[in-house]
């Protein structure tokens, strides 16, 4: 017979295992108790998992469903939100185009003022270059009238913007 050695294994809850003739012998009762305890823990864990899974499925069904009798409320809220969104879009579009029209109006009057100022300059220069003799008197009166009208229109266009 060969010598037996005592080997301690912490996984078997400090039970001793004897090795003899390359065959493992152990305390059979402690191993069966340990296996039963592990099986009961595994089954308890599986039960907890299945309970948790069923509870999560129930919560998911509750949150994702529409309660009975709330279909008219759902339709009303959808229509109301579409009307509000259309109203907001109209208001923002109105403000945008109002700003664009104001900008275009200002640039129109600025361009008109520049053209009138050029015409005013041209007529004033011609007026001062003409001699005041009897031959040019009709032209001078015509240029005076043009200068006055150009000045009036220029003043009005500058006060508009």
Which one has a higher pLDDT value, 106 or 11?
A: 106
Tell me which of 135 and 93 has the higher pLDDT. Answer: 93
End-to-end CA distance of the chain: 120
**Planar angle of CA 44, 48, 51, nearest 5 degrees:** 135
Where along the chain do its domains lie? 12-65, 70-160
Percent of the chain with pLDDT over 70: 79
Q: What is the pLDDT of residue 18?
A: 46
CA–CA dist 19, 2 (Å, integer): 10
The model's pTM: 0.40
pLDDT for 147 beyond 70: yes
Q: pLDDT value at position 95?
A: 95
What confidence tens digit (pLDDT) does each residue in 11-38 have?
444 444 444 433 455 566 666 777 777 7
pLDDT-derived band at 99, boundaries 50, 70, 90: very high
Decide if pLDDT at 45 tops 90: no
Q: What is the mean pLDDT of residues 95-104?
A: 91
pLDDT of residue 117: 86
DSSP state of 20: E
Category of 47 on φ-ψ map: left (φ > 0), alpha (ψ -120 to 50) or beta = alpha
pLDDT for position 136: 79
Instruction: Give the pLDDT score at 144.
Output: 86
pLDDT at residue 14, rounded to an integer: 42
Does pLDDT of 43 surpass 90? no
Q: Residue 87: its pLDDT value, please? A: 96
């Amino acid at each position: 017979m060969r010598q037996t050695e005592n080997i301690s294994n912490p996984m078997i809850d400090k039970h001793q295992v004897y090795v003899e003739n390359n065959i493992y012998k152990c305390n059979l009762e402690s191993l069966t108790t340990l296996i039963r305890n592990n099986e009961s823990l595994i089954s308890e864990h599986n039960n907890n998992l299945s309970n948790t899974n069923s509870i999560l499925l129930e919560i998911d069904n509750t949150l994702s469903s529409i309660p009975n009798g709330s279909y008219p409320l759902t339709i009303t809220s959808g229509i109301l939100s579409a009307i509000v969104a259309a109203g907001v879009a109209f208001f923002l579009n109105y403000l945008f185009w109002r700003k664009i029209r104001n900008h275009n109006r200002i640039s129109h009057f600025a361009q008109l003022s520049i053209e009138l100022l050029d015409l005013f300059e041209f007529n004033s220069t011609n007026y001062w270059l003409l001699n005041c003799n009897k031959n040019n008197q009709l032209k001078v009166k015509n240029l005076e009238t043009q200068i006055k009208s150009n000045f009036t229109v220029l003043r009005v266009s500058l006060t508009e913007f």
